[in-house]
Amino acid sequence: MGAVRKIRTACRSCHGGCGVIAHVQDGKVRKVEGDPASPISHGTLCSKGLAATQLAYHPDRILYPLKKGDGGWKRVTWDEALNTVAAKFREVIAAHGAESIVIGQGTGRDYESHLYRFANLLGTPNVLTAGHMCYVSRVGATLITCGNLPVSDWSGDPRCIVMWACNPQWTNPDEHKGVDFWRAYKKGARLVVIDPRKGFLADKADLWLQLRPGTDAALALGFLNVIVAEELYDKEFVENYINGWEAFKERVRQYPLEKVAEITWVEKDLIRKAARMYATTKPASLQWGVPTEQTLNCTDCTRLLTGLMAVTGNLDAPGGNVFFVPPPVRTVSQFARHRDLPAEQRNKQLGGDRYKLASRVALITPKVAWDAILTGKPYPLKAGLLCGTNPVITRANAREAYEALKKLDFLAVIDFFLTPTAELADIFLPAGTWLEQNHVADNWKRHGYILARQKVVEIGECWQDHKIFLELGKRMGQEWWDTVEDALDYLLEPSGLTWEQFKEAGYLKGEQVYHKYREKGFSTPTGKVELYSTILEKWGHDPLPKYTEIPESPVSRPDLAAKYPYILNTGLRIPTFFHSANRMIPWLREIRPEPLVEIHPQTAQKHGIEEGDWVEIASPRGRVKQRAKLNEGIDPRVVVAEHGWWYPELKDAGHGWDRANINLLTDNSHASMDPVMGATNLRVLLCNIARAEE
């Protein structure tokens, strides 16, 4: 055996960022460990990161490009694979226009700069991501409200923390890892938890508000009602920096606590206590989680939570929610050349007239893509390229996603494995994992850091995604660089560092400045925090945020609730899996071999269900099976189901994509979506349950 080399890099088995020291021996990664010098993770790694070797060297991983023919998948060269994609795309562009090609990705995976550059230079405005209901929706809503995404300032020592629909110990979401929140909390901060489920943090909280799922916007209005009535707001701030304060106060007064308590199921005294605690303990930081975005209240809820940060004087204040200053490098948008998509093409964006906020942040909601494929309206989508996404498992109304992708004339998929989505493709391009790439990581995040993710090994013929876009782009006649590293030099240029130098440095941090609005105002049309939105007004929408009852809830559909009496809340993350990923990783699957649905013991008893029984969960759109886990920490009227399930091992049965996949039950009708963002509802649906056979 040769000597062990240790290489510093950055994980990306979730949204990424944790510092890793990879141990390499004889050209193979033997193990990974946490890097104590990492400013993001301080030496910690989660189960997914630690299992990276089992991902990289998995026997089912596809190590060569594949092309589908009559006899199934067959190995081809990169040249043949890329030339096939390029030829097909040229054919579609000539016959139908570039807008007939959909380019798609899933959650943030550090290649959006390259994917968007490819799409923009191709000339298609139809980029499909998960951003309509995750994170980008928060970015979009805050862009129009206060000009940027406010992020929790854990190192600024908040004295009060409001954990609003977020579970950072398990999810390490967005900019920060759970460990940074934990450090802030351990310094003695007060903790308010807003969550329908009693988890680890609800148990520790000073106040836990167990709300009805999906009613967060109403609860936020309740908080604001207290803050306005008791004048707990920052008077200097609201006078100088809020657009439409009087009108906003008027709106907030329409939500007295009696009404809010009825909507949210939270006692009004508890709402009052929590609002007071947040508004009077300074500084206070509010960490929002993705469930606040996954209903039709998405944009309004984000705007209301931003309102809470603003009126309490916690916006861009140390220890509050701040706009971190990025290091001086080219941004994702600059690299992606959004401005080079011709206006004529941008105007053809599917759903662009309707979902104006989605359009502003350059993405489409999946529904409009599936509609275009299945109905040919307003024009047909003919071909697609999907990178790092599994919509057949992860998007609302999975059956429609499946039918649509199957109907495309041509589909190319970039992934590690033949997932249920990849199985629908004509060309499969094998991606390198984060252990196989050189990249300036975390540039899309808003925490003020960029990180060096450096290549540790090469495996099979896999290419990092960035190289795939670069090589395919060149074949389409686009302007790219010779190598991935040349592109990184361009990205880093304003910092004065080359990729080689940055790799040595490990990371760069922007110089943090607080209260920037005192000099420059906010980057909105009025220069103020637009609680009254001039942009939404221009688009013909209510300029003030409100609560809208979920279209499929016991309140709005008592008729349907007679047959489907429970609220189905889907998508609780678990530490071992990342959405539909990792089900094939032995160390991780061993911890959670089967999907679990949480049911209150009283509810389970009514249906004769016991711990560990298989349960059939049914909604008006379908039925799937998961195993019962009894949980007293949820309301008896609520059922909590896991998402992302398929069975990689069931190779001859479509990988079991339709057995436990909760998105067969979720809804993507236009009526159920956020009116400007197209956020799909994944968190509040009606369902029924029954004991099922094995």
Ligand X SMILES: Nc1nc2c(c(=O)[nH]1)N[C@H]1C(S)=C(S)[C@@H](COP(=O)(O)OP(=O)(O)OC[C@H]3O[C@@H](n4cnc5c(=O)[nH]c(N)nc54)[C@H](O)[C@@H]3O)O[C@H]1N2
User: Contact region for ligand SF4 (CB under 6 A) — 15-23, 334-342, 478-486, 554-562?
Assistant: 15-23
Report what 143 binds from ligand SF4, Mo ion, ligand X, none; CB cut-off 5-8 Å by kind. Answer: none
One of 8, 9, 22, 49 touching ligand SF4 (CB under 6 A): 49
Amino acid at 497: L
**Nearest CB to ligand X, comparing residues 99 and 110:** 110
Which residues fall within 8 angstroms of residue 459, CB to CB, at 6 or more apart? 56, 57, 61, 63, 432, 433, 435, 436
Instruction: Tell which residue, 119, 570, 163, has the closest CA to residue 332.
Output: 119
**Nearest CB to ligand X, comparing residues 438 and 663:** 663
**Nearest CB to ligand X, comparing residues 9 and 419:** 419
With CB atoms as reference, the residue minimizing the distance to ligand X is 106
Near Mo ion in 98-127, by CB under 5 A: 107
Instruction: Tell which residue, 447, 528, 539, 588, has the closest CA to residue 41.
Output: 447
Nearest 5°: the CA angle 109, 129, 378 is 160
Write down the H helix ranges in 187-267: 200-204, 216-229, 235-241, 245-253, 257-264
Q: Is 582 in the site for ligand SF4 (CB under 6 A)?
A: no
**Alpha carbon distances (Å) from 285 to 38, 280, 357, 511:** 23, 12, 26, 21
Say how many residues touch ligand SF4, by CB under 6 A. Answer: 13
Which pairs from 185-192 meet CB under 8 Å and 24+ separation?
185/161, 187/157, 188/159, 189/157, 189/158, 189/159, 189/160, 189/161, 190/159, 190/160, 190/161, 190/277, 190/281, 191/160, 191/161, 191/163, 192/160, 192/161, 192/162, 192/163, 192/274, 192/277, 192/278
The single residue listed with the structure tokens 């067969």 is 664
Near Mo ion in 133-162, by CB under 5 A: 134
**Nearest CB to ligand SF4, comparing residues 31 and 253:** 31
**Nearest CB to ligand SF4, comparing residues 138 and 445:** 445
Token duo for residue 562:
């007679």
Q: Is 16 in the site for ligand SF4 (CB under 6 A)?
A: yes
Q: Is 14 in the site for ligand SF4 (CB under 6 A)?
A: yes
**Nearest CB to ligand SF4, comparing residues 348 and 447:** 447
Report what 394 binds from Mo ion, ligand X, ligand SF4, none; CB cut-off 5-8 Å by kind. Answer: ligand X
DSSP classification of residue 327: P
How far is Cα 483 from Cα 467, in angstroms, rounded to an integer? 7
**Nearest CB to ligand SF4, comparing residues 174 and 530:** 174
Site pattern 170..189 for ligand SF4 (x: CB under 6 A): --x----x------------
Token duo for residue 619:
């909604």
**Alpha carbon distances (Å) from 141 to 66, 84, 91, 487:** 40, 39, 38, 31
Helical packing angle, 366-375 and 398-407, nearest 10°: 50
The single residue listed with the structure tokens 């931003």 is 306
Report what 416 binds from ligand SF4, ligand X, Mo ion, none; CB cut-off 5-8 Å by kind. Answer: ligand X
Residues that bind ligand X (CB under 6 A): 14, 106-107, 109, 130, 134, 164-167, 170-173, 194-197, 199, 211, 213-214, 216, 289-291, 387-391, 394, 414-417, 419, 431, 465, 569-573, 575, 577-581, 643-644, 662-663, 666, 682-683
Report what 370 binds from ligand SF4, ligand X, Mo ion, none; CB cut-off 5-8 Å by kind. Answer: none
Q: Is 581 in the site for Mo ion (CB under 5 A)?
A: no
Which residues fall within 8 angstroms of residue 509, CB to CB, at 6 or more apart? 39, 327, 448, 449
Token duo for residue 570:
């889907």
How far is Cα 414 from Cα 416, in angstroms, rounded to an integer? 7
Conformational region of residue 650, where left means phi above 0, alpha means psi within -120 to 50, and beta covers everything else: beta
**Nearest CB to Mo ion, comparing residues 9 and 569:** 569
One of 21, 24, 45, 679 touching ligand SF4 (CB under 6 A): 45
Amino acid at 410: F
**Nearest CB to ligand SF4, comparing residues 17 and 222:** 17
Report what 11 binds from Mo ion, ligand X, ligand SF4, none; CB cut-off 5-8 Å by kind. Answer: ligand SF4
Near ligand SF4 in 599-628, by CB under 6 A: none
User: Contact region for ligand SF4 (CB under 6 A) — 16-24, 355-363, 372-380, 398-406?
Assistant: 16-24
Q: Is 413 in the site for ligand SF4 (CB under 6 A)?
A: no
User: Contact region for Mo ion (CB under 5 A) — 24-32, 129-137, 206-214, 592-600?
Assistant: 129-137
With CB atoms as reference, the residue minimizing the distance to Mo ion is 134
DSSP classification of residue 439: E
Burial class for 64, CB neighbours closer than 10 Å (0-12, 13-18, 19+)? middle
Tell the smallest beta-carbon distance from residue 629 to Mo ion (Å): 23
Site pattern 143..162 for ligand SF4 (x: CB under 6 A): --------------------
Tell the smallest beta-carbon distance from residue 107 to ligand X (Å): 3
The binding site for ligand SF4 (CB under 6 A) comprises 11, 13-14, 16-18, 41, 45-46, 48-49, 172, 177
Binding site for Mo ion (CB under 5 A): 107, 134
